[in-house]
Structure 1
C-alpha cells in the first residue's frame, strides 16, 4: 500500500491552523475469496471487452517504488448482480484508438472521459462522495491480444482517504437527493507523530460531535504534484471555498466559534495526478468538536 505523505504543515496566523496531506490510492481491500491475479485473455476485440454494470469483489494495485503503475480487477471473482456484496462497479467502458499503447495525453483524455461519465452516473461530481475513481486499461497481455477497451470503475470508501468498503447495490444516482454516500461532516483522524499528521476523515452526522466538514473540491494547474507553488495554489483555492461555504471569513469564523480553525486538503494519488486529475478535497477543521454544520 502507498504511504500517505504530508506536503506541508504550517501556521497561517493567530487562530488559524492549516495543513495538507496527500490522498492515498484506494487500498486493495481483502476479498471475501482469496485474491488472484487477472487471468490473461487470449481472445481479441469484443470477446474480452468489459461490460458496463459488472461488479467485482476485489482489485489489486501493482507498484513501482511508491507509485502505482497498474490497476487490475480480480476477474476470477466477479459478481453477476450488483445487489450482491461487491467492491467495484464498472459504470463506463470506452476504447483506446489505434494499435500504439496510449501516451500521457491520451490517458489524460480518457480519464477526463471517466470523470464526465461518473458525473452523469452519480448525478454529481464524484469528489463530493465517499468514492474513488479507477481507470482500468487493458493488461499488457490483453493489449497484445488486440483488446483496446478500458474501464471506469467506482469504489466506495469509508471516508476521505480511508480504506475501500464493500457494499451492496449500484452507485447509480447515489449523489442525488438524500446523497447516501455524500461527503459532509466527519471526524478527522490524526497520527500520533509530533506534527499530528492528518490521516483520513470518517463520516459523522453534523448534529453529532465532529471536528471536520468537507467544503468542496479544488484543482491545480497542469504540472508535477511536487512543482513549486502547487501546495500554495491548493491552499489558496481551499481558503476561497471557506468564504463561499460558510458566508464568513476565516478570521470572523474563528472569532465566532471562539477556537482555532484550519484547513486540510487531500490531493489525489500520484496515479490519478499523472492521469491528468489535479484535484484536492478541502476540509474545514476545528480544534474542539462541534455539533453543527458550518455551512451558510
Structure 2
C-alpha cells in the first residue's frame, strides 16, 4: 500500500506541473532503448587467463580475460554453444548442463584429435553471469584446461601454446602417461592398500603407475563401487595386458604388476555426464620404475 500511495503522489505532482517551453513532454526525447546486459563471447581457439584458480571440482566460473595463446593462460576455448531460452540459469547436473557437458566433451576430443580423457586435461563450462542471464545471455563457453593430477581440487596448470591437435602426435607432454600414486599404507609386497589419486610425472623419473586406457561406463543411474568394478576392471586388465604386449593370462603370471582404475566417487559428476574411468598399470610403490612399461612383455621392470 505504501508503494501505491507514493506513485499516486508522484502522479499528482506531475499533473500539477507545466511543460517547460521548447519541450514536448517526452522524457526520453527520442532516445533508443538501452541494450540488455551482455558479456563478450570468446571465439573457439582463443585462450583465456583467469584471475583465480580454475579447478575441476569448482562449479563456479572464474573471471577470464582473452590473451594470446603464446602467453601464459589457463583455459583454451574449443567451442561455444547456447542454453535454451526458457529455463532458469542451469546448475551442475541439470539437463541443460548435461547437454552442454556432452557437447563440450565432444568438441574437446575433436579439438585435441583424441579422447580428451587420454590427456592430463579437463573440461570447464563457462556460463553467463546472473546479470547477463537476466538480460538474455544464453551462451556457454567450452574451455579446455590442463591439469596436473586426478585430484578434483588441483588447480589448472598455467601453460603457453595451443592444445589444438595436442593428443594426435603422441609426443605432447599433456598426453597422459606416467604417474605417482597418492597413498599411505602399503601391503607386504609394497603396493598401496588405498590409492587417493594420481599425480602427473615424467616417465624418466621414479614412478609407480602408467596410463593404460580410458573406459567409458554405460549411461544410467549412478553405479555402486561393486558395479563399477564389475564393468571397468576386466576392461582395464585387457588394456594393461595390451600395454605390456601380453595375453591377460601372461599378465597375471607376472606377479610384479597390478591393475588399478579410478573410482567415480562423485555422484554429482556422474549426473553431469562424466562416466569415464582411467586404467593404470601399477607397480610396487616401494620399488618404483624408470621408463615406460610399454611392450616389455615378460621382461624385467625398468628399474
Give the TM-score taking structure 1 as reference length.
Answer: 0.71
> Which residue in the other structure is 2:202 paired with?
204
Structure 1 distance, partners of 2:54, 2:172, is 29
- Residue 134 of structure 1, aligned match among 124, 130, 138: 124
Gaps of 5+ in 2: 1-33, 187-191, 296-303
Shift of 1:94: 0.9
Any residues of structure 2 matched to 1:148-227 within 5 Å, and which?
148-161=138-151, 163-177=155-169, 178-191=171-184, 195-205=193-203, 207-227=204-224
Quickly say closer, same or farther: Cα 1:47–1:189, change in 2 above 3 A: closer
SS at match of 2:76: strand
Deviations 1:160-183 (A, max 9, x none): 435421112222222132223101
Select 2:61's aligned residue among 69, 72, 83. 72
- Asked if structure 1 preserves the Cα contact closer than 8 Å seen for 2:177 and 2:211, the reply is yes
- Gaps in structure 1 of 5+ consecutive residues: 1-41
Q: Deviations over 1:215-242 (max 9, x none)?
A: 1111112234454613432223322322
- The 3-state SS of whatever aligns with 1:284 is strand
Cα–Cα, structure 1 residues 88 and 58, in superposed 2: closer, same or farther, change >3 Å? farther
Q: 1:119 to 1:171 in 2, by over 3 A?
A: same
Distance 1:117 1:226, change over 3 A: same
> What is the TM-score when the length of structure 2 is the normalising length?
0.69
Q: Which has the larger radius of gyration?
A: 2
Change in CA separation of 1:106 and 1:152 when aligned onto 2, cut-off 3 Å? same
Partners of 2:38 and 2:140 in 1: CA distance: 12
What is residue 21 of structure 2 aligned with on the other side?
Answer: none
Displacement of 1:266: 4.9
- Contact 1:183 1:203 (C-alpha < 8 Å) held by counterparts: no
Bigger RCO of structures 1 and 2 (CA < 8 A, at least 6 apart): 1
Query: Aligned pair count?
Result: 247
- In the other structure, the counterpart of 2:73 is 86
User: 1:72 offset after TM fit, Å?
Assistant: 0.3
Please report the RMSD computed on the Cα atoms of aligned residues, expressed in angstroms.
3.1
Structure 1 residue 49 corresponds to structure 2 residue 41: yes
Structure with the larger strand share:
1
Which segment drifts farther, 131-140 or 222-231? Answer: 222-231
Q: Which whole-Å CA distance do the structure 1 matches of 2:263 and 2:252 have between them?
A: 22
